[in-house]
Chains A and B, each alone.
Chain A
Amino acid sequence: MGIGLSAQGVNMNRLPGWDKHSYGYHGDDGHSFCSSGTGQPYGPTFTTGDVIGCCVNLINNTCFYTKNGHSLGIAFTDLPPNLYPTVGLQTPGEVVDANFGQHPFVFDIEDYMREWRTKIQAQIDRFPIGDREGEWQTMIQKMVSSYLVHHGYCATAEAFARSTDQTVLEELASIKNRQRIQKLVLAGRMGEAIETTQQLYPSLLERNPNLLFTLKVRQFIEMVNGTDSEVRCLGGRSPKSQDSYPVSPRPFSSPSMSPSHGLNIHNLASGKGSTAHFSGFESCSNGIISNKAHQSYCHSKHQSSNLNVPELNSINMSRSQQVNNFTSNDVDMETDHYSNGVGETSSNGFLNGSSKHDHEMEDCDTEMEVDSSQLRRQLCGGSQAAIERMIHFGRELQAMSEQLRRECGKNTANKKMLKDAFSLLAYSDPWNSPVGNQLDPIQREPVCSALNSAILVSRSQRKAAIVNLSLLGPRNPQSAKATSSCPSNGTGHTMSRTDGSIWNWILCIRHSGRLPTLAMHFKSSHYIVAFSQHGSRPALQI
């Protein structure tokens, strides 16, 4: 029997440790196997009735095992990220019980974590502070301000700048322009988005032909979806999907979602919607204003289930600490969302974006009662003219692609993008096809953020908000240090008037001084098994 870790895709028919990206501790000889067929003497052998624990430390990327609650010492160092707990059984009739924390561990993992928290805290406390006292204060304010500006929280950015005596580098109008474009993209109105961009930022897209191509491919997809303005004006009903902005697993990634919802709702009013859509909407608004306890709760669950979104890891951890929920899964998350009744939407005011959304929301409150289950999504909204327009657009896109290749050389990413988009037409119901996820409104987000960044670069703004960069997570001590630069005072009082999410995070680091991912990751990757070799299922030991 081998107990260990492996990356995705490792051969499941072999004991952990024997193959690349696989690590294991084997019971028959007590050796550790570090991606190799030959083991190293590591610990004692183990057998029926023993409780073996495996703990991955995501701060220093090491792993140690425990036997019946006794630490056996470091087995592996320099582990890669994203490993899965693995148990390999060789003997017929072997039985393993796994404990991922649902029962108390024999080994005192809490004590181990306490030690690491203290270590990290000491590291933060010892972090050298520059000569001038106030420097950190200024820096954190700049960080926050740039985050707000980047994502177009103009009202908050303005309020923040006022209360901290800063100047916003970009004028308000410009922020609003960007916000407008982002709204269009997120609403699926790509044609209008491209047009507006060209108006407001002439030559931007000419200088970025690949970006333009990406936008156009997205436009094509939105045409299929029936959301793009060019096909929508040709008649046809708003299809279901355009409204269903999904339960977003990335609540903070694109704050300008809020306005886009206003638009979605508007569409919905004419095209009828279903309650399910509102649940999606609900979750998005949560992303912007987490002013309700239970809402932020469901968010945290959300985040913890989405560790693979790299730029969000940092935020994930902040929440996991507050909620202290380590058994998160998608099922939980969704039920929570649905339980957030639609009735609450009206109480959610948008701090960002314009105020007119409020009454649109009220509109939708009345509309949502309509049962829309009989609605069927149709290609380009169902209008023949729209389909023709779409086909025509597709040809233009093909031509553009060929031209691009001539001018800039081969680009596999572009090629694949186009191929995937065209594949949609091969299915009678593109939404339920294997390539249907392209129609998912969530796919608008990367396009949106690419465009936003390009605009900012052209205006020589920072490409990514500093705060995003610094929040990349405490996977190594360096970044932990970066986050330690929070000022000790002066942040608390402004919090309530700005976007709660980011402030929460900063404050939590400041006040608790600990890095919460640690806790969460441990919880999910520390597991202990008890097993018997002859098929009888032993009582769970832990």
Chain B
Amino acid sequence: MACLLETPIRMSVLSEVTASSRHYVDRLFDPDPQKVLQGVIDMKNAVIGNNKQKANLIVLGAVPRLLYLLQQETSSTELKTECAVVLGSLAMGTENNVKSLLDCHIIPALLQGLLSPDLKFIEACLRCLRTIFTSPVTPEELLYTDATVIPHLMALLSRSRYTQEYICQIFSHCCKGPDHQTILFNHGAVQNIAHLLTSLSYKVRMQALKCFSVLAFENPQVSMTLVNVLVDGELLPQIFVKMLQRDKPIEMQLTSAKCLTYMCRAGAIRTDDNCIVLKTLPCLVRMCSKERLLEERVEGAETLAYLIEPDVELQRIASITDHLIAMLADYFKYPSSVSAITDIKRLDHDLKHAHELRQAAFKLYASLGANDEDIRKKIIETENMMDRIVTGLSESSVKVRLAAVRCLHSLSRSVQQLRTSFQDHAVWKPLMKVLQNAPDEILVVASSMLCNLLLEFSPSKEPILESGAVELLCGLTQSENPALRVNGIWALMHIDKIMSTHGKQIMQAVTLILEGEHNIEVKEQTLCILANIADGTTAKELIMTNDDILQKIKYYMGHSHVKLQLAAMFCISNLIWNEEEGSQERQDKLRDMGIVDILHKLSQSPDTNLCDKAKTALQQYLA
């Protein structure tokens, strides 16, 4: 504590700290390199675990000097290493610290340091980079700006267990989206990291595992590669299965379950593969149990929801596994009344996770009830379930609201529930509220749910229409978002006499979609809408007088995609159907347009469905 001896005895505590901090910085400028080194070492010891000291040193300009010393050719490797250690320590502090470091361009300096031959220095740089890149304030793009960085990092993977741990951690934090995945994949990430899964170091194994989970997410290319990778004679999926054994640390079980889930969703593993049905799924259900930490339960439920979303068999298995549906009801009990009274810390913790837990539960319920009527019934019969969903619809958190709407949407596929529970709980009221000024992602789900509530047999139909749904839906048909436009028209279709009142708007929306650059599914839906419209007299009028639309239908009859051809055929069939009023004129007009020729051509189609439809249509002309 030499510095204290030099300070005057009577001093306020604050200035004392600043003065001592200044002394640390001053010593970095000493002409004697040995003294500079000692100064850096002393600084290192002073800042460990002391956020105030860190902030002081940053304010006093220690960072640029440290970076200068770190990059200086003349600095000894020892000094460079100590500088990197101190910078790493500063980065461990608050987010503001990290921002200050970024402002001083620390990342290029540290990346430059990685070119050094000295392993200790490289490890210090990597540790510091790891800390910076794992901070939420650091843009991950910074890792990819220099194209030479990734291959160099890949090469460093072989140097030591520390380089392995830090680099994997950097990758798993900075790999966001398909572009990053592709860059890492193209630089051999899979081969370079795969063998780390059998490392002796738990941390290395864990970080490598995390890398694979981010690499495989929604990425068929990576996932397809992963299933065939061999490590020590074992296929990667088998290694993942071993890592989700019940005696492994929870973090490891959860992460390997994620890897397998992502590979399955990316199409690399079948949904009826034993490693999914008997290993991954039960593991994820266990992650939802009360014994797990709140964070783990959130992650477990979200991953499980993702895994089972497209597969009814997995939904059925999950629904009977370990009383999952009842287990999820517990997610709504935070903060519990007990935690509020007894333990402030616990209350704080519970509150933090309460939203996350609720949205995760809603998501999982939505997946569970996506296809099976019995499961939906079971979910709705869970204690206070409908109340919880209705409450969820008006929560402040967008995430919870979205998940609640999704859940409700999934449950609304049940005719029985639409007529009972949905009516009893007047679900439509909060739903209409959600539809006002909600972000698009919510609107998409909420509007498709509205479609279900507007079905003929739904008792909610009347009150919804009375509360101004038509205007709202017309609004949607003008939306930028094609999915919203489709939902808007679709919902409108269910309303009686809508074509006579809002026919123009609907036709306009349909034209817009058919003209735009949309995916096949959206267009197919739209053509089906058109076919449905072509079922009523007013609507047929509207179509027949709209040459633009007729040309579009003709075009889609000759489209390369069978689905679209079929949908267009539907429209034509409805328009030329014999027994209906005015069918003769419509037939004539369509013949003039060359539709009959197309029908003849299609009746020779190799697709039997299309061929049958065309023949039936031609018969209408013969009759």
**Chain B interface: which of A109-117, A195-203, A388-396?**
A109-117
User: What 1/0 mask marks residues of chain B from 569 to 592 whose CB sits below 8 Å from any chain A CB?
Assistant: 000000000000000000000000
Q: A residues 48-78 with Cβ under 8 Å of B? A: 67, 69-73
State A330–B322 Cα separation when bound (angstroms): 38
- Chain A, interface residues (CB within 8 Å), range: 10 to 19
Q: Which of A67, A108, A111, A114 contacts B320 (CB 8 A)?
A: A67
CA gap between A201 and B618 in the complex, in Å: 118
A44, A70, A71, A108: residue with the most chain B Cβ atoms closer than 10 Å: A70
A201 to chain B, nearest CB (A): 54
Q: Is the CB of A72 within 8 A of B246?
A: no
Kindly state whether residue B321 has any CB partner on chain A within 8 Å: yes
Answer yes or no: B32 CB below 8 A from chain A CBs: no
The chain A residue sitting closest to B279, CB to CB, is A108
B333 CB within 8 Å of chain A: no
Min C-beta distance of B574 to chain A, whole Å: 44
Interface 0/1 of A8-52, CB less than 8 Å to B: 000000000000000000000000000000000001100000000
Q: Is residue A118 within 8 Å, beta carbon to beta carbon, of the partner chain?
A: yes
Partner of B322, one of A69, A71, A108, A115: A71
- B317 contacts A114, CB within 8 Å? no
Asked if B278 CB lies within 8 Å of chain A CBs, one says: yes
Q: Evaluate whether A118 and B321 lie within 8 angstroms (CB atoms) in the complex, with A69-B278, A71-B282, A108-B278 already known.
A: no
Contact with B along A193-236 (1 / 0, CB 8 A): 00000000000000000000000000000000000000000000
Compute how far the CA of A73 lies from the CA of B279 in the bound complex, rounded to whole angstroms. 16
Evaluate contact between A114 and B321: CB separation under 8 angstroms. no
Q: Is the CB of A72 within 8 A of B320?
A: yes
The minimal Cβ–Cβ distance linking B237 to chain A, given in whole angstroms, is 16
Number of interface residues of B (CB under 8 A): 11
State the Cβ distance, B377 to closest chain A Cβ, in Å.
12
Evaluate whether A111 and B246 lie within 8 angstroms (CB atoms) in the complex, with A69-B278, A70-B282, A71-B282 already known: yes
**Complex interface bits, B264-282 against A, C-beta within 8 A gives 1, otherwise 0:** 0000000000000011001
Closest chain A residue to B281 by CB distance? A70
Contacts of A72 in B (CB 8 A): 320-323
Q: Which of B254-303 contact A (CB under 8 A)?
A: 278-279, 282
Whether the pair B246, A112 counts as a contact (CB closer than 8 A) is yes
Across the two chains, which residue of chain A brings its CB closest to B245? Answer: A111
Q: What residues of chain A lie closer than 8 Å to B321, measured between beta carbons?
A: 70-73
Give chain B interface residues in 304-320, CB to chain A under 8 Å. Answer: 317, 320
Return the chain A residue nearest B317 by Cβ.
Answer: A70
Instruction: Say if the beta carbon of B247 comes within 8 Å of chain A.
Output: yes
Contact with B along A114-145 (1 / 0, CB 8 A): 11011000000000000000000000000000
Please give the distance in Å from B46's CB to the nearest CB on chain A.
35
Residue contact A114 to B245, C-beta cutoff 8 Å: yes
- Is B245 in contact with A44, judged by CB distance below 8 angstroms? no
Contacts of A114 in B (CB 8 A): 245-247
Question: Hey, which chain B residues are within 8 Å of A71, CB to CB?
Answer: 282, 321-322
The answer to whether A115 touches B282, judged by C-beta atoms less than 8 angstroms apart, is: no
Residue numbers in A under 8 Å from B282 (CB-CB): 70-71
Q: Are B247 and A44 in contact (CB under 8 A)?
A: no
CB distance from A350 to the nearest CB of B (A): 43
Q: Give the shortest distance, in Å, between B78 (CB) and chain A (any CB).
A: 40
A32 CB to closest chain B CB (Å) equals 11
Shortest Cβ distance from residue B154 to the other chain A in the assembled complex, whole angstroms:
35
Chain B residue with Cβ nearest A118: B247
Residues A115 and B317 in contact, CB atoms below 8 Å apart: no
In the complex, what residues of B have CB within 8 A of residue A44's CB? 320
Q: Contact: B247 with A117, CB < 8 Å?
A: yes
Residues from chain B with a CB closer than 8 A to the CB of A73 are: 321-323
Which A residues are in CB contact (< 8 Å) with B322? 71-73
Contacts of A111 in B (CB 8 A): 245-247
Alpha-carbon separation in the docked complex, A44 to B323 (Å) = 10
Interface members, chain A 71-104 (any B CB < 8 Å): 71-73
B residues near A69, Cβ cutoff 8 Å:
278
Which residue in chain A gives the minimum CB-CB distance to B278? Answer: A69
A115 touches B247 (CB 8 A): yes
Q: Distance in Å from the Cβ of A173 to the closest Cβ of chain B?
A: 52
Asked if A115 contacts B246 (CB within 8 A), the reply is yes
- Chain B residues near A43: list those with CB within 8 A: 320
Across the interface, name the chain A residue whose C-beta is closest to B323: A73
Q: What is the bound-complex CA distance between A215 and B103, given in angstroms?
A: 93
Q: In the complex the two chains form, what is the Cα distance from A43 to B279 in whole Å?
A: 20
**Nearest CB in chain B: distance from A139 CB, A:** 30
Which chain A residues border B323 with CB–CB below 8 Å? 72-73
The closest CB in chain A to the CB of B324 belongs to A73
Q: Which residues of A contact B246 (CB under 8 A)?
A: 111-112, 114-115, 118
Q: How far is the CB of A521 from chain B (nearest CB, A)?
A: 18
Name B224-269 residues within 8 Å CB distance of A: 245-247
Bound-state Cα–Cα, A429 to B577, Å: 104
Q: How far is the CA of A72 from the CA of B321 in the complex (A)?
A: 5
A114–B249 alpha-carbon span in the complex (Å): 12
Report the Cα distance A375→B560, complex, angstroms: 101
Bound form: Cα–Cα A408–B336 in Å: 60
The answer for the CA separation of A72 and B320 in the assembled complex, in Å, is 6
Most buried by B among A44, A73, A117: A73
Residues of chain A within 8 A (CB-CB) of B320 are 43-44, 67, 70, 72
Minimum CB distance partner of B244 in chain A? A111
**Residues of B close to A70: CB separation below 8 A:** 278, 282, 317, 320-321
Give Cα A226–Cα B321 distance, bound, in whole angstroms.
65
Bound Cα distance A67, B246 (Å): 19
**Whole-angstrom distance between the alpha carbons of A115 and B245 in the complex?**
8
Q: A118–B323 Cα gap in the complex (Å)? A: 24
Within 8 A of A (CB), among B192-247: 245-247
Closest to B321 in A: A70
A112 to B320 alpha-carbon distance, docked (Å): 18
Instruction: Give Cα A425 to B317, complex, Å.
Output: 66
Q: Please give, as numbers and ranges, the residues of chain B lying within 8 Å of A118 by CB-CB distance.
A: 246-247
Q: Give the Cβ gap from B528 to chain A, nearest Cβ, in Å.
A: 37
Q: Smallest CB–CB gap between A70 and chain B, Å?
A: 5
Rounded to whole angstroms, the CA-CA distance of A112 and B245 in the bound complex is 9
Least Cβ distance of B507 to chain A in Å?
50
Nearest-Cβ distance from residue A522 to partner chain B, whole angstroms: 14
How many angstroms from the CA of A352 to the CA of B210 in the assembled complex?
60
Q: State the CA gap A115–B321 with chains docked (Å).
A: 18
Closest to A68 in B: B317
Question: Which residue of chain B lies nearest to A121 when distances are taken between CB atoms in the complex?
Answer: B247
Closest to B285 in A: A71
CB distance from B291 to the nearest CB of A (A): 10
A30, chain B: closest CB distance, angstroms: 9
Which residues of chain A have C-beta atoms less than 8 A from B279's C-beta? 108
How distant is the Cα of A73 from the Cα of B321 in the complex, in angstroms? 7
Chain B, Cβ-Cβ closest to A111: B246
User: Which residues of chain B (101-132) have a CB below 8 Å from chain A?
Assistant: none
A44, B321: Cα distance in complex, Å: 10
Complex CA gap A506/B278 in Å reads 37
Q: Which residues of A contact B247 (CB under 8 A)?
A: 111, 114-115, 117-118
* A75, closest chain B residue (CB): B323
Minimal beta-carbon separation of B166 from chain A (angstroms): 29
Complex Cα distance A73/B327, Å? 10
A428 → chain B closest CB, angstroms: 62
Q: Which residues of B contact A115 (CB under 8 A)?
A: 246-247
**Shortest Cβ distance from B456 into chain A, in angstroms?**
34
CB-defined A-B contacts under 8 Å, sample of 22: A67-B320, A69-B278, A70-B278, A70-B282, A70-B317, A70-B320, A71-B321, A71-B322, A72-B320, A72-B321, A72-B322, A72-B323, A73-B322, A73-B323, A108-B278, A108-B279, A111-B245, A112-B246, A114-B246, A115-B246, A117-B247, A118-B246
Which 4 residue pairs spanning A and B have beta carbons closest together? A115-B246, A73-B323, A118-B247, A114-B247
Chain B positions within 8 Å of A, measured between CB atoms, are 245-247, 278-279, 282, 317, 320-323
Given contacts A71-B322, A111-B245, could you give 7 more A-B pairs where the C-beta distance is less than 8 Å?
Answer: A43-B320, A70-B282, A70-B321, A108-B279, A112-B246, A115-B246, A117-B247
